[in-house]
Structure formats: C-alpha cells, structure tokens
Amino acid sequence: MLLIILRRLGQSVFVLFLVAFVSFMMFRYVGNPVDNLLGQEATVEQREALIEALGLNDPLHTQYLGFVTRALQFDFGNSYRGAQPVADMILERLPATLELALVSAIFAMLFGVIAGVYTAIFRNGFSAHLIMSTSLIGVSLPTFLIGVLLIWLFAVELGWLPSFGRGETVQIGFWSTSLLTVSGLKSMVLPAITLGLYQMTLIMRLVRAEMLEILRQDFIRFARARGLPERVVYFGHALKNTLVPVITVAGLQLGSIVAFAIITETVFQWPGVGLMFINAVFFVDIPVMSAYLLLVGTLFVVINLIVDLLYLAIDPRIRDGQLKRQST
Amino acid sequence: MSEAILSVRNLRVVFPHRHGVLVPIDDISFDVKKGEIIGFVGESGAGKSMTGAAIIGLIDPPGYIEQGEIWLKNERIDQLDISAANRIRGRRISMVFQDPLTSLNPLRTIGDQLVETILTHLPVSADEAKRKAIAGLEEVDIDPERFNAYPHEFSGGMRQRVVIALALSAEPELIIADEPTTALDVSVQAQVLELLKKLCREHGASVILITHDMGVIAETTDRVAVLYAGRLAEIGDTQTLLRDPQHPYTKGLIASTPSVEYGDISTELFQITGAMPRLDALPDGCAFHPRCGQALAHCATKRPHMERNRVACWLYNDV
C-alpha cells in the first residue's frame, strides 16, 4: 500500500518536472525576453547587462534548474505588463478561480450522480426520458452560449442575479472568499452553473451507463435473491461499484473545469486566473502564461494523484493486485 | 417426507416480444417435499433456470407468469409485491447461482455481505448477526479468520461455499441451486455438492438442483424432473427413473451420458439426433416428436399431458 503511494508520488514529481520543462521552454524561447523587457530602443550595453542578469548565457540545464528552483519558491518573475511579480498576481486571483471551480464541481457531482442513479433506476419512466433528452442540451451547447443565455434570462430579464463580477469578498489571511457574503453567493450561481453544466450531464450519463451495466451483474441478481431491499441493492451494492470509472472521469473533469474556467471567467468578468491568462495572451505576457501553464499542470497532476489514491480506497482488488505485482 | 413445502401448479411463463410471445415455461406442475433434493435436468433453454427464477420471483422483464400458481406451504407467492417478495427471498427461499466468481459483490467483504443478509431477515443484534455469520462460515469450512476478506481473495470453490453460507444464513426452507457446480473444477464439484447436500439435510431445507449433468442428478437427488422445450417430459424418483426411463427423451439423455468405468472406453456415446427446437419455432403436438424414434402419428398433432403417471408421452397415455 505504502509502496503504491510512494510510486505514484514519484511519477507525479516526474510529470511535474516535464510540465515545468515545457513551461520553461515557453518562458525562454517564445519571443525574446530581452526585447520584451527593454523594448526596441535599448542600447547593446543594456541588453548585454540584462542577458547577464537573467542568466540567459548559462547552459540550458542550468537555466532550467534555476527556473525550477525559483518556481519552487513561487518566483515566476515579473509580469511584462505592470512589472508586478507573477506569483502575487496568481495568489491574488487564484482563490476566485478555485472557489468557482469547487462550487461548480460539487454542483456537477451532486446533481450528476443523483440524476444518473435516478435515470438508471427508472430507465423507462417519463421523467427519466425527459432528463436524458434535456441533458443533450448540456452536452451540445458551448459553454459561452450557456453563460450568455443564463445572463439574459436571470440577470437581464428576471433581474434576480448579478451578471458579472464576484460580489463582495471577505479576506481570510491571503485568501479572499466570496462564499461568506450574500452578494458573493449570488454572483457565484450563474458562473458555477455555466461551468458545471457540461460536467454534470457528462457525469450523469456516465453514472447512468455504469449503473445499468452493474445492475445486470450476477451479484445484483444474487443480492435480490437474498431478499435485500431495493434501496440496499441500488445504493449499498450498485452505486459503489459504479464509482471507480466515475471518479476517474470526474477527477479529469475537475481539472478541465479549472481549464475551461477561462471561458466562463471571460463571459462573467470573473476576476480569476482564467481571465488573467486571457489578458496575458492579448499582451503576450509570457511569464504570466508560463506560470499559468505550470499551475494548471500541477493541478492536473495533483488531481490525478488523488484519483489514484481514491481507487485504492474504493476497490480492494486494485490494492491487492498492485501489492502482488510489487512483491514478485 | 411427504409434506409438500412448495407446490407449482400449471405454471406458464411468457415473454412478449415484437412478433408474438415466447413461452419458456409451459404448463409445468410439481411438488417439492420437505427435506428432499429434487433435480431439474434438461438442455440449455429447456426452462430449468426460468423455473427457478419464477419461484423466487426474479423473472427478468418483459417476462411474466401468465398462468398457474406457486404455493409455499399455505401462501401463494407468484403474485407478490416487492416488499412481500423480499420477506420470502433469502429468508424462506434462497438461491445459489452458477458462477461463484460473479455472485458476490467484489467491493465488500464476505463477512459484511453475510451480516447484511442476516440483519435483513432475522431480528437479531449486530453482534449476534456477526456470531451467526462466523458460524455459517465454519459450517462451509471457511476459516472464520477470513471474515474480513474480499471475494477475490478466495478460489472459485471457496466462493461457492461462501455463497452457500449466504444462502443458508437465514435458515430458508428451500434452496434453488442453479447449476451450482458448472463453473467449478471437476475435483471441486463433488466437494461442493456434498457440502450442499449435507448442510441442507442438517438444516432440513429442501433443494431444487438445476443441472444438465445426469451424473450430478444420479449422485445427489432424491427425485428428478426432466424438462424439454419448457415442458415437463418426465418426473419421478431418481433411482426408478434412471433404471427405467420411459420418455424417449429421458432414455436418450441417459444413454448420451458418458460413464467412466474401468476398461469401458470402447462404447460410442449415443446421440439424440437434431437439436431442441427454438422457442419461436416449437412444433405442434409433442415438442420432442421430430427427434423421437418412436413417434406415433398423433404425436405431431396432439400435445401429450402428464396424467396419473409420471411421463408426458403418447406411448404411455391413451389418446
């Protein structure tokens, strides 16, 4: 067990170094940092001095190691625009994105699993058919369109919810949260639904398909033959067996929720890292972009690690299978 | 030994489909007496498993019982709603399925699944249920230390023993064993059958043993029912039936069973020509007549029924 965890950790670290390498290459070779920093008018002496100061004459691996060392200390250099440290910019905006991602992930998981189980159990019922057809909308409509439609309906026509921004925030240490104020929560609703809708329908369809598959298994038949109540058959026996594939997809989707947040944040002018990234692209702000890449990469790796560990918690066969392979 | 705990009367199960209905079980009647082991034998699709499913109320939709009655002692059990059915399933009638590898939930310990079944049916405390579960494991020769083991940590034979412990855990009156040894190694088969037989005798439970193996029938059962194309061909005491089969199909079935006796390897096996008809293409009259060597003229037009005797065949019944 411990061995598996250690091995997974090792793999994660390796992947992170790769991500850091791509991020570094981007930082170093997309555009010329010296031109970007000094502009066209700089003298040759100024350029030489800056190149020396940035260490651009050092061998590549030295530069890479330096990049990684600085990244480990949250030093991603300064933004080309505004000359603010990138780490500060991210830290300031990350809570907004993480809160949005978290809320929409919970929304997607909760409703996705409930609707999936429901449509699997009552697969021939009218409401199950209705949910399934409606879910096609969630799968097929692009995120920005859903966002705009929601704004039109709930913010413009009905005037119930704000159409942009984060509302009031409360500062807890470095973390600014909008989950503790009424206006913050109201502002959260539309972006969270926009961001989570696709994931919700995806999870729902997956849970339904898995559940239908599991319900055909012999052990479900045997559970019924043992006289276990339907509730126990569905939730005690079927649901847990659907979780391994669901967690895989849900985990990956959580990563893409953060990645897709770029679009949602743009539509709702949500002050998160996604919006920051889009602005950075406009101005070719390479340090910001490469730091964002590193951040999203790290997030994916961490989520994958958690998913792998969850497998072990859920399925005893994976625990043992791995252990046997380890010992031989 | 004469008291019938289960009576099936004129059971008919149908599956509606696009072009009509299939009738996997057609007019089957039989009794199961207290403490006896009755075998159901026949080819695949003869309706053996379907009969078991009908008794325990687990026919897959769209199939349903169209006609007939099933009585468990004094209670009619063929038209129960789900909660009433759940008070009988596992409690009074249990089932053992063919494949022990897939009968148990892979994500839950065997102890957990045993305790769950006991708590569902018996008014006992959690501690008492655990004690009973451990006693059940000991009965099927599984080390109680393995209470917290998962199904994949056991071999096929051991898993089937766990399944038997599960089936017996609430002291049912009847166990339907649907090909319980078909998926097991031959060397383990006898062991599991012997265990099933012994435990059912000890607990006073009757057994419906579904199999296609005449050898298993001969070794294990008290009585045997021969099914063909969803109909009962012949029923009777195992010894009598094996010694003096009457229905031509039963004769063919016995003659086509290989026997391994020392020095007896030269005899070629008998084959019943042709195959059992598909359910959507049953012939008129006796379902077996196209394959029967002794068919009479009216076999092709009139269906034989079991009257006072034990066989549904025109050779033994008057027209």
How many domains does chain B divide into?
Answer: 1
- pLDDT score at B12: 92
- pLDDT score at A327: 36
- pLDDT score at A324: 44
The tokens 């984060």 sit on which residue? A166
Domain identity same for A29 and A107: no
Q: Scanning every residue of chain B, which has its alpha carbon at the shortest distance from the alpha carbon of A226?
A: B90
Least confident piece of the model among A107-111, A234-238, B193-197, B308-312: B308-312
Angle of helix A126-140 relative to helix A86-121, nearest 10 degrees, comes to 150
- pLDDT score at B208: 93
- pLDDT score at B32: 92
The answer, yes or no, to whether residue B262 has pLDDT greater than 70, is no
Position B281 in a domain: yes
> Would you state the structure tokens that stand for residue B6, as one six-digit string?
């289960």
Give the separation between CA B94 and CA B169, rounded to whole angstroms. Answer: 9
Sign for the CA dihedral angle at B163, B165, B169, B174 comes to positive
User: A228 to chain B: which residues are within 8 Å by CB?
Assistant: 86, 90, 116-117, 120
Domain identity same for A109 and A58: no
User: B85 to chain A: which residues are within 8 Å by CB?
Assistant: 227
Confidence class of residue B260 from pLDDT cuts 50, 70 and 90? low
Q: What are the strands of the beta sheet with B64-72, ordered from one edge?
A: B20-33, B4-17, B64-72, B75-76
Question: What kind and span of H or E run contains A21?
Answer: helix A2-29
User: A237 to chain B: which residues are within 8 Å by CB?
Assistant: 105, 108
pLDDT tens for chain A, residues 1 to 328: 777 788 888 888 888 888 888 888 877 777 777 776 777 777 888 888 877 777 777 788 888 888 888 888 878 777 777 678 888 888 888 888 888 888 998 898 899 999 999 998 888 888 888 888 888 877 788 878 888 888 888 888 887 888 777 777 777 777 777 777 777 888 888 888 888 888 889 889 899 999 998 988 889 989 999 989 888 898 888 888 888 788 888 887 888 888 778 888 888 888 888 888 888 888 778 788 888 888 888 888 888 888 888 888 888 887 776 444 433 3
User: A217 to chain B: which residues are within 8 Å by CB?
Assistant: 102
**Inter-chain touch A219–B56, beta carbons under 8 Å:** no
Give the separation between CA A107 and CA A200, rounded to whole angstroms. Answer: 7
- Using a CB–CB cutoff of 8 Å, tell me whether B152 touches chain A: yes
Query: Could you give the percent of chain B with pLDDT greater than 70?
Result: 95
Domain identity same for A47 and A90: no
Closest approach of chain B CAs to the CA of A242, in angstroms?
A: 11
Q: What's chain B's average pLDDT?
A: 86
Domain identity same for A248 and A309: yes
Position A78 in a domain: no
Residue B148 contacts residue B116 (beta carbons within 8 Å): no
Q: At residue B90, what are phi and psi to the nearest 5 degrees?
A: 80, -30
Domain identity same for A96 and A6: no
Q: Give which of A226, A234, A315 to mutate to test B binding, by max B Cβ within 10 Å.
A: A226
- pLDDT score at A323: 43
Closest approach of chain A CAs to the CA of B54, in angstroms?
A: 12
We report the CATH number of the domain holding residue A314 as 1.10.3720.10
Position B319 in a domain: no
Residue of B91, B105, B108 with shortest CB distance to A227? B91
Range of the domain at A191: 86-327
- pLDDT score at A287: 81
How many domains does chain A divide into?
Answer: 2
Q: Give the residue with greater pLDDT, B204 vs A1.
A: B204
- pLDDT tens by residue, B157-168: 899 999 999 998
- pLDDT tens by residue, B209-252: 999 888 889 888 999 999 998 888 899 899 988 888 888 888 88
Domain identity same for A188 and A96: yes
For residue B261, give the 3-state DSSP assignment. coil
The answer, yes or no, to whether residue B206 has pLDDT greater than 90, is yes
Closest approach of chain B CAs to the CA of A318, in angstroms?
A: 10
Give the separation between CA B229 and CA B227, rounded to whole angstroms. Answer: 7
Helices marked H in chain B — which ranges?
48-56, 82-88, 100-103, 110-121, 126-139, 156-168, 186-203, 214-220, 238-243, 248-255
Q: Write down the ipTM of this complex.
A: 0.85
Position B318 in a domain: no
Residue B167 contacts residue B95 (beta carbons within 8 Å): yes
Question: What kind and span of H or E run contains A37?
Answer: helix A33-38
- pLDDT score at B137: 92
- pLDDT tens by residue, B76-102: 888 888 888 888 898 899 999 888 888
Q: Give which of B103, B104, B119 to mutate to test A binding, by max A Cβ within 10 Å.
A: B103
Query: Which residues make Cβ contacts (< 8 Å) with residue B1, sequence separation at least 6?
Result: B33, B34, B35, B36
Residue B226 contacts residue B42 (beta carbons within 8 Å): yes
Domain identity same for A35 and A172: no
- pLDDT tens by residue, B111-146: 999 999 999 999 999 999 999 999 999 988 899 999
We report the CATH number of the domain holding residue B17 as 3.40.50.300
- Contacting B with CB below 8 Å, chain A residues are 217-219, 221-230, 232, 236-237, 240-241, 314-317, 320
Give the global pTM.
0.77
Instruction: Classify burial at A88, counting beta carbons within 10 Å of its beta carbon; exposed 0-12, middle 13-18, buried 19 or more.
Output: middle
> Would you state the structure tokens that stand for residue A45, as one six-digit string?
């002496």
Position A178 in a domain: yes
User: A242 to chain B: which residues are within 8 Å by CB?
Assistant: none
Position B188 in a domain: yes
Give me the total of CB pairs closer than 8 Å, taking one residue from chain A and one from chain B. Answer: 78
Domain identity same for A50 and A132: no
Position A35 in a domain: yes
Q: Which of B316, B275, B219 is nearest to B42 (CA)?
A: B275
Domain identity same for A43 and A122: no
Range of the domain at B105: 4-258+270-300
